[in-house]
Amino acid sequence: EAGVAQSPRYKIIEKRQSVAFWCNPISGHATLYWYQQILGQGPKLLIQFQNNGVVDDSQLPKDRFSAERLKGVDSTLKIQPAKLEDSAVYLCASSPRQRSDNEQFFGPGTRLTVL
């Protein structure tokens, strides 16, 4: 079974530029998550999708971050414009259903450096 795929793996941009990340979840997984992991910290949930609907985006900085999951499969996360404090690893995860006992499967992440 293929895992969660993310691209790019690394990205370096200057502040005020825009950047987009892509995630392809495990086939058949209805729930998709985007996390931000700052160095030395645990992941922080940015947004959760159930199919193509948003379940939780309470911690998404909506003035600069946006995410979509068209057709309920792939997802993109965009930052526009980027700030220095956005430097982090952006993890995508998926799970079969929105259930508390469901395991979440994580992708390798995209490491973003904002200069």
Partner 1 sequence: KNQVEQSPQSLIILEGKNCTLQCNYTVSPFSNLRWYKQDTGRGPVSLTIMTFSENTKSNGRYTATLDADTKQSSLHITASQLSDSASYICVGASGNTGKLIFGQGTTLQVKP
Task: Tell me: does residue 1 bind partner 1 (CB under 8 A).
Answer: no
Interface with partner 1 in residues 41-100 (CB under 8 A): 41-45, 48, 55-56, 91, 93, 95, 98-100
Measured in Å, how far apart are the chain's first and last C-alpha atoms? 37
Binding mask 24-43 for partner 1 (x = CB under 8 A): ----------------xxxx
Residues near partner 1, by CB under 8 A: 4, 40-45, 48, 55-56, 91, 93, 95, 98-104, 106-109, 111
